[in-house]
Structure 1
Amino acid sequence: MLSELGNLTTLDLSYNNLSIDASVIDADLSSFPNMTNIKLVSCNLKTFPAFLRYQSRLIHLDLSDNHIQGIVPNWIWKLGNLQSLNVSHNSVTELEGPLQNLSSSLVVLDLNHNQLQGPLTVFTKHAAYLDYSSNKFGSVIPLNIGDYLSGMIYLSLSNNNFHGSIPVSLCKAQNLQVLDLSENKISGTIPSCLIALSETLGVLDLKMNQLTGPIPDMFPVSCALKTIDLNGNALDGSIPKSLANCTTLQVLNLGENKIDDGFPFFLKTISTLCVLVLRKNNLRGSIGCPDNNGTWNMLQIVDLAFNTFSGKLPGKCFTRWKAMMHVENQAESEVKHIQFQVLRYGRQVYYQDSVTVTSKGQQMKLVKILTVFTSIDFSSNNFRGEIPKELFDFKALYLLNLSNNLLSGQIPSFVGNLKQLESLDLSINTLEGKIPVEIASLSFLSFLNLSFNQLSGVIPTGTQIQSFPYTSFIGNKVLCGPPLTTNCSANNNVPPTQLSNTEFDWQFVTTGVGFGSGAGLVVPLLMIWEKGRKWSNNRIDKLLIILLPMFGLAYTPIGDDDDDEDDEINSEMTEDYDEDQGDYCVFCSKLDITKQKIIHDPSCTCYNHTLPVSTSTHSLHSNSS
């Protein structure tokens, strides 16, 4: 049928669940029309279709997302007019043919997500787009790679096993707009000339490597960078002040390094900043707003977690983060991402920004950053004071994590304003008061953690709050009600089990203090003679036998004649007290709440580092023991 379409220039059979027969013999290929654009995406191809070798006019060829294995044949590179070749998402293992056979017209080559390995193949100086990402390369990056990149605009070697240092020759690529060397094993320092290249460079992605040393403070005044991602290295030093020259910066990710500095106030002059990630560094001090005219109107993702920032959360600063305050039309904003357009050769080519956030207690990688997505993570710092009410003006906020700080006060009822909120983590602080019922109005909330605070009262009933697991509320001693197993009393909403335990403890303490005070007045006189000692013991025994049943306790006296048992108990007392330091005031009863036992010694007094030997010991047990 195709042979009858002699004027056909474009063929697109993609995504049709077709299986193309690639084994047609050469004799049948002469009738194929000579096309300029062929797109066979996801057509279950196992090999390169043979008819392609005769497509001398072919300009754009897309064979992505198939099952092609083995070698890219040499004849592909001899298609003299071929400008764009996409063989991504296949199982190609090798590129056949010497470099001199490559087409000088080839501008775009996309080989990402294949099985390529061995040394890196460098293409002609005419190439503008080269994507080798997500393969199995395990060599060093050629030291002279920059000699072949004079026309290169986009270069991605990410997600391989490249090792060694970043070649300085990369700085020769004066037209480079996107450099992505992320997720490799590259070590050494960042070449200073690479930072100076940012006059033309729009994206510098070196994340998840083994880079060390400081970030060169050489960003030029005409810095054109829109994305800087250095996350997951071992970079140290301070945040370069010259970063403020990158006035069109949208994404800055310096997370998970060893940077030792304060909060970068000077970056607040960058009004285009959308994503700021500084997590897991050695950053400290306050994050308040200095006196400047800068605003972060477009800021949508802020991650300062796992540092040692301190002070109060600056409510005044939050009033400038306008992007988090207004809910965009969901249908329109879903297709908008933070991305960087590189070039157009038969298709639009973009660098797609990504970022990892903590969502619902788990690390989550956003492979595309929606402009509608907003997140604040201030967890694991030393922030103190109350949660500023300005935070609750962020009606577009999806994730809020303030856990593991020193925040105090109550959870504001304004939390009900966060209508888009999906994840709220306020755990491990010193928040007090009741859980505001307004949380129940957050219909999108699917993760809530209020554990290990000082919250009190009843968990709001009849709401979705009770659908969260009990682990969301544990560690709040006077919080009660489902999903916790602790019931609430009708009068004061304090768990009866805790109240009962408190009363029980005071019974023991009161008993011990009472006996101790009485013994302190009478015993010194009675100790003068032996009969007086025995008389006092008998009187105390009788008194305990009468009084303790009133408290639901049983009392068993230990006879004076049982010297062995007395010695054993005295020995235990001596061992227990030897653990303490300083003066020992042991003339009163010995209290052991955990064992529900009081051991009374009427003859003891205060000694300095020397424990008395008791002449009479009594044992007290609860009826429940």
Structure 2
Amino acid sequence: MLIVDVVLVSAQCQSDQSRLLLQLESSFSYNQTSSGKLVPVKWNQSTDCCSWDGVHCDGDGDGHVIRLDLNSRSISSSIDNSSSLFRLQHLQWLNLAYNKFKTAFPSAFDKLENLSYLNLSNAGFKGQIPIEISRLTRLVTLDLSVSLYLGRPLKLEKPNLEMLVQNLTRLRFLYLDGINISATGNEWCKALLPLTELQELSMSNCYLSGPIHSSLSNLRSLSVVRLDNNNLSASVPQFFTDFENLTSLRLSATELNGRLPEQIFQVSTLQILDLSTNKLLEGSFPNFSLKASLRTLALSGTKFGGQVPESIGNLEQLTRIELASCNFSGAIPKTMKKLTQLVYLDFSFNRFSGPIPSFSSSRNLTQLNLAHNQLKGTIDSTNWSDLSKLVSVDLQNNMLSGTIPTNLFCIPSLRRLFLSQNQFKGNLGDLHGRASSLLDTFDLSSNKLQGQFPMSVFELRGLKFLSLSSNNFSGLIPMRALQNLRNLSSLDLSYNSLSIDATNTSVSSFSLPNITTLKLTSCNLTEFPDFLTYQSRLSYLDLSNNQIQGKIPNWIWKVRSLRYLNLSQNVLVEFERSLENINSSLNVLDLHGNQLQGQIQILPPRATYLDYSNNKFSSVLPAQIGDFLQFAYFFSVSGNNFNGSIPKSICSSLYLRVLDMSDNYLSGPIPKCLTQMSVSLGVLNLRQNNLSGIISDTFPKNCSLQTLDINQNQVEGEVPQSLGNCKRLEVVDIGNNQISGSFPCHLKNISKLRVLVLRSNKFNGSIHCHKNNTGWPTLQIVDLASNNFSGELHQTCLETWKGMQVVENEAPSKVKHLQFQFLQFNPNHYQDEITVTIKGLEWELVKILTVFTTIDISCNNFEGPIPEVIGTFKELYGLNFSHNAFTGPMPSFLGNLRQLESLDLSSNYLSGGIPLQLVNLNFLSFLNVSNNKLVGQIPTGTQLQTFSNASFENNPGLCGPPLTVKCANVFRPTTHTEPELQSVDGLDWLFIFIGVGFGVGAAAFAVPLLLWKTASKWVDDNVDKILEIILPKVGLTYRRPSDLKVEADENPEEDKTETDDDDEEDEDEESKETTEEFRGRYCVFCSKLDNNTMKKVIHDLCCTCYDSPYLSPSTSTSSSFSP
């Protein structure tokens, strides 16, 4: 009864209190659309106000309202200083959070002097927080925070933080998140000093700067510290470890640096530690004690690294651990099985290796992310059926193998499964009735799965995202089989051995109403699927590399939602009919590699990427083509039959980053405006046309060009001085023109230059730049051949080419290519290509490896000795000094060029002997020193004798194998710069001479047999076996000519086809090559080509090949665009 009496007494509301509340209610209006759930204030004046929703009165019978809770009522009206709210002067507890008052912060809150709790978070107030708040001296809890998505509508300027809290000495809970405080570490830390009882401090996203001042250490009662999303730019203070009550420390995204004190992990009361998104913060894990209380550990996006200790299993209360995008390595500890409370785990983007441990005991686990690591082995260590709460499993981009356990699909709560980019194999099996009915994301792409395509996957009616691309599935898939997937938004079945039947898919009988992305590359499609005609949400369509023939239908331009269209590598010949005023919303249109003819008719006006390359388009380019390129970043018409001049309207394309018009029949001058637009242009490729005139001297000072390629035209004049303004240039290819003048010394200030091709022009004079001592530190390909350059090669001119001097163990560990990323934050890029002459053949490098270096100054008038600096170019793959007038001895320092694969010094005036140091060139597969004045015996017992006579002929004083001239009085080559050679690469010369002796004996035995047909056949059958035994003794391996024959095909059409196939294969392997680590020595051209037989005969054991195709008369746009 006593309790009932108390309730009755407390329910007696005074009339003035009721009247004030009703006045307040009548002033409210509501935003009907602001929330899905609208809970307006509805007070009945006929009842006691103490019983009204959100209203509480005191318990002493006075009937005063002491507590008012109007949280989340969607109130959108304003509250000003005259509001009846501020006359409820007995209020002790006020919550107006999550409304939309949309008014300036009222200053009348000081009238509510009894308040101990004030929550105005996300209430919609704007502007300066008034000084009157500081007069609420009884406040224990103050929450003025604003969510990040609302911006920063509130600020603390006048008053500032110090003035606001200086009198609030009873505060225990202070939340100011999202308020613009804009204070330094010294200011905001000292401002908090009066708050000696403060337990929870939350000031995230407040424009605070650091470092955290030591005065904060005086707040010893702090248990919660949240300062994330500020710019502290300092290390984590040691004094946090002295806070005995610390339970939560959140410092994410605060630009922390230095090394985290390990003692932080030892704070026994700490339950939440979030230091994520601090990319300069370093640290490693200590051994965790059994007393640890950690429940949340978030270090993602930091430089934390090392191994995760076995003691991680001691964190038995851990529910969430985030270590994504760190530097962790080694095995994931097996003790993870002790973390039975684990709910969320993210170890993605690290270097974890070894097998995946069992998580079977973590039965509360909902998220498991181990993606983008180096994990190996099978995934059957976990009994997946025990993890009934799992919602998402992400194991993509590892090296996992074996079969996929069937019980993984059976987890009843599973929604997302990512297993792509691994090495899983075997059949997928029948998923009918077994897979989770909630599964909406299913990605098994880029594995080794095989067998008949699992049609049961189309029974997973909840699927929204399905990707099974890049596997070995086979079979025929009727498009109609997908008709049950009504929720499907993204489908990718590309790159299998599938044949998709798109017949009978008219909109009346088949539809995927939610489809937005459809990728059916390499699916043997022969026609356009009819159902696509009315897919109103389709935004991404890739039907490339199929067998679709005939015309491109008109309806495809009328799909208003379509943003990406790739029809490349089909057999399309024309557009259905001409369309005018196309209103397509396409951003990307890729039609390259078809047989489209005539004029370009389809130019979507909003496109950013347009590729029409490698078709049969002809006639002239439309004069107003630039009007359709107003938003274009990439435009390519290379490999067609366009003629006429380059339309000047292209220069109005202000956003253009890549312009490729190569391999056409364009004529006339290069428009002056093209050089002027290089402010935005990154790639200008006009090679293989009939362009004439000069290169305009109008490159702007803020030139952005990275690649300039006008090779194989009829351009004349000199290299413009203003080209030196293009500081970002990496590739300059102006070879095979009529350009004259002296060496372009004004390009020496372009420090990023990697490729310089001046071949086959009319340049003359010295290449020494007297007034410019700067150099090209990254230069890797130099081709000055077939000009009229003269004079000596100066030491100071060449020693600045640092890119050729990199020591092998200092070279990058990854194979990379020269490329141009034409859109920021986008992986797509334009691939540079170049033609080089090496090993006596022209090669088209469709990818320019950054490890490939070559110098070709052949067919000029250089003279004097070969400079010693050449001996420091230890990364050189090809060296061609032929057809000049070099004199002096053949230098011994050439033996330092251990990477060298091609050496051509023919047709000079070199004298003396062939130095013994050339035995060091284990990878040398092409050598030509003919037509010199060399004398003496060719060094025996080395790889030099595997070359043909043609490599040494027309040196009257040279003798010994492979020449037929015998040595009478043996002249031993001298070393010139080095002491007498005792051994090379650790080889004992005793064994070399034994080998030579054996060789002479074998020759005495074999030569007569060669004259006898029967014996000759015996030699053919058995010499290979003998060489396979001997050559490995000197670090070489022998490949039988029958195995490695290079067929010299004189049919240009077949050559073109072969090259195109190679190009496609290179493109397919691009991603793999750019990330593949070195496996020993990396060779660009790693086989020896015999000049006479055109057979590859020797290959080094340590060499990993990179093949490049022979020069093809056609070129292709080396670019690929795919999100």
Q: TM-score, normalised by structure 1?
A: 0.76
The equivalent residue for 2:926 is 447
The equivalent residue for 1:437 is 916
2:852 maps to 1:373: yes
- Give the direction of change, closer, same or farther, for the CA distance of 1:99–1:278 in structure 2 (3 Å limit): same
For structure 1, which segment, 407-416 or 19-28, has the greater mean C-alpha deviation from structure 2 after superposition?
A: 19-28
User: Aligned ranges for residues 289-300 of structure 1 at < 5 Å?
Assistant: 289-300=769-780
The equivalent residue for 1:105 is 585
Deviations 1:103-155 (A, max 9, x none): 53101101111101111224132111111111111110111111222112111
The equivalent residue for 2:631 is 151
For 1:87 and 1:203, the matched residues in 2 are separated by 24
2:527 maps to 1:39: no
> What is the Cα deviation at residue 56 of structure 1?
2.3
The equivalent residue for 2:871 is 392
For 2:824 and 2:875, the matched residues in 1 are separated by 34
Matched to 1:229, the amino acid is D
User: Aligned ranges for residues 40-119 of structure 1 at < 5 Å?
Assistant: 40-100=520-580, 102-119=582-599
The equivalent residue for 1:411 is 890
Determine which of 464, 489, 493 is the counterpart of 1:9: 489
- Give the direction of change, closer, same or farther, for the CA distance of 1:122–1:197 in structure 2 (3 Å limit): farther
- Give the direction of change, closer, same or farther, for the CA distance of 1:427–1:289 in structure 2 (3 Å limit): same
SS of residue in 2 equivalent to 1:408: strand
Kept in 2: contact 1:211–1:233 (CA 8 A): yes
The equivalent residue for 2:672 is 192
> What is the Cα deviation at residue 30 of structure 1?
2.9
> What is the Cα deviation at residue 94 of structure 1?
1.0
The equivalent residue for 1:238 is 718
> What is the Cα deviation at residue 375 of structure 1?
0.9
Matched to 2:749, the amino acid is T
> What is the Cα deviation at residue 54 of structure 1?
3.9
For 1:72 and 1:378, the matched residues in 2 are separated by 49
Matched to 1:442, the amino acid is L
SS of residue in 2 equivalent to 1:428: coil
Deviations 1:242-261 (A, max 9, x none): 11111111111111111110
For 1:358 and 1:392, the matched residues in 2 are separated by 21
- Give the direction of change, closer, same or farther, for the CA distance of 1:167–1:71 in structure 2 (3 Å limit): same
For 2:549 and 2:742, the matched residues in 1 are separated by 52
SS of residue in 2 equivalent to 1:431: strand
Deviations 1:457-501 (A, max 9, x none): 11111111111111000010010111111111145589xxxxxxx
Kept in 1: contact 2:612–2:637 (CA 8 A): yes
The equivalent residue for 2:654 is 174
User: Aligned ranges for residues 543-562 of structure 1 at < 5 Å?
Assistant: none
For 2:659 and 2:507, the matched residues in 1 are separated by 45
SS of residue in 2 equivalent to 1:214: coil
Kept in 2: contact 1:215–1:239 (CA 8 A): yes
- Give the direction of change, closer, same or farther, for the CA distance of 1:151–1:276 in structure 2 (3 Å limit): same
Kept in 1: contact 2:488–2:512 (CA 8 A): no
Determine which of 129, 132, 149 is the counterpart of 2:609: 129
Deviations 1:162-210 (A, max 9, x none): 1111111111111111111111111111111111111111111111111
Determine which of 818, 833, 837 is the counterpart of 1:358: 837
- Give the direction of change, closer, same or farther, for the CA distance of 1:27–1:187 in structure 2 (3 Å limit): closer
2:698 maps to 1:218: yes
- Give the direction of change, closer, same or farther, for the CA distance of 1:77–1:364 in structure 2 (3 Å limit): same
Kept in 1: contact 2:821–2:829 (CA 8 A): yes
For 1:409 and 1:232, the matched residues in 2 are separated by 35
Deviations 1:527-581 (A, max 9, x none): xxxxxxxxxxxxxxxxxxxxxxxxxxxxxxxxxxxxxxxxxxxxxxxxxxxxxxx
For 2:543 and 2:583, the matched residues in 1 are separated by 18
> What is the Cα deviation at residue 318 of structure 1?
1.7
The equivalent residue for 1:306 is 786
For 1:333 and 1:225, the matched residues in 2 are separated by 28
For structure 1, the residue ranges without an aligned partner over 5 or more in a row are: 495-625
User: Aligned ranges for residues 196-595 of structure 1 at < 5 Å?
Assistant: 196-327=676-807, 335-343=815-823, 348-490=827-969
- Give the direction of change, closer, same or farther, for the CA distance of 1:244–1:434 in structure 2 (3 Å limit): same
SS of residue in 2 equivalent to 1:479: strand
SS of residue in 1 equivalent to 2:888: coil
For 1:435 and 1:18, the matched residues in 2 are separated by 59
SS of residue in 2 equivalent to 1:284: strand
Kept in 2: contact 1:289–1:314 (CA 8 A): no
- Give the direction of change, closer, same or farther, for the CA distance of 1:441–1:293 in structure 2 (3 Å limit): closer
Matched to 2:712, the amino acid is G
For 2:964 and 2:628, the matched residues in 1 are separated by 69
Q: TM-score, normalised by structure 2?
A: 0.43
- Give the direction of change, closer, same or farther, for the CA distance of 1:183–1:330 in structure 2 (3 Å limit): farther
SS of residue in 2 equivalent to 1:75: helix
- Percent identity, aligned pairs only, is 55
For 1:25 and 1:38, the matched residues in 2 are separated by 15
Matched to 1:411, the amino acid is M
Deviations 1:361-389 (A, max 9, x none): 01111111111111100000000011111
Kept in 1: contact 2:777–2:802 (CA 8 A): yes
For 2:813 and 2:559, the matched residues in 1 are separated by 41
Kept in 1: contact 2:815–2:851 (CA 8 A): no
For structure 1, which segment, 170-179 or 302-311, has the greater mean C-alpha deviation from structure 2 after superposition?
A: 170-179
For 2:497 and 2:742, the matched residues in 1 are separated by 56
Q: How many residues align?
A: 493
Deviations 1:316-350 (A, max 9, x none): 122111111115679966642111112389x7432
Kept in 2: contact 1:58–1:81 (CA 8 A): yes
For 1:165 and 1:261, the matched residues in 2 are separated by 26
> What is the Cα deviation at residue 50 of structure 1?
2.8
Kept in 2: contact 1:150–1:175 (CA 8 A): yes
> What is the Cα deviation at residue 289 of structure 1?
3.2
For structure 1, which segment, 462-471 or 28-37, has the greater mean C-alpha deviation from structure 2 after superposition?
A: 28-37
Matched to 2:893, the amino acid is F
Matched to 2:853, the amino acid is T
For structure 2, the residue ranges without an aligned partner over 5 or more in a row are: 1-457, 459-481, 974-1123
